[in-house]
Amino acid sequence: MLKLYYTPGVCSTASHIGLEESGAKYDSQALSFATNEQKTPEYLKINPRGRVPALVVDEGAIVENTAILDYVAAKYAPHLMPKDPVQRARAISLMAWFSNTVHPNFTHVGRPERFATDTSVHDHLKAVGRENFYANLKEIDGLLAGKQWIMGDAFSVVDGYALVFYGWGKRIGLPMADLRNYTAWKDRMLARPAVKRVLEREQSVLLAA
């Protein structure tokens, strides 16, 4: 049995959606960041970095969304990743960009202390992070122009990852409705039963009126 460790509303939502869409049987456990459950000795044995997501499989733990999503698609739901090698590479490239650029830009907004111990610069870090994050969201909006899903006509695990950032933009009050392609796509995502189940389980901001 697969077991996913996640925290509601953070980047692990991507892996949560990927698993739910795959149809694979899995167990899940939510960790509370507020009480530092991700830093307990028990969890650090699973992921020594103390981060989510982590997916426990027979061979051990897999961490990082990009790796988990590629694994889930390869093992349980090949239709959730492009079959063409070039398109698959582009899907992985996009998820890598989500992980190494888009996510860190948002982290500057919520956790500036990770980037500077001098509290006098925290407001500046937040402002720059907010600007850069919204620029990333506008790029995603452009990627969705004329497409049903982010990789084209077929839904993929990349879509679940992209949904995370729409929710974060809404959470910090960015003008998400101005991103028309992204917003129309978000509505299509919310109409998917598997996506809705995950968002309800995580009590997502995306379900708020």
- What is the pLDDT at residue 67? 98
- Cα(80)–Cα(159) distance, integer angstroms: 10
Query: 50-107, pLDDT tens digit by residue?
Result: 999 999 999 999 999 999 999 999 999 999 999 999 999 999 999 999 999 999 999 9
C-alpha distance from residue 110 to each of 38, 139, 144, 166, 178 (Å): 18, 21, 26, 15, 23
As a whole number of angstroms, the distance between CA 41 and CA 13 comes to 23
Nearest-5° angle of CA 180, CA 201, CA 81?
60
Neighbours of 112 (CB within 10 A): 20
Which SS3 state, helix, strand or coil, does residue 203 take? coil
Better-scored residue on pLDDT, 3 or 208: 3
Record the pTM: 0.96
Class assignment of domain 2-79?
alpha beta
Annotated domain spans of the chain: 2-79, 81-192
Q: pLDDT by residue (tens digit) across 137-192?
A: 999 999 999 999 999 999 999 999 999 999 999 999 999 999 999 999 999 999 99
Q: Which ranges in the chain belong to alpha helices (H)? A: 13-22, 41-46, 65-76, 85-97, 103-110, 122-143, 157-171, 180-190, 193-201
CATH fold for domain 81-192:
Glutathione S-transferase Yfyf (Class Pi); Chain A, domain 2 (1.20.1050)
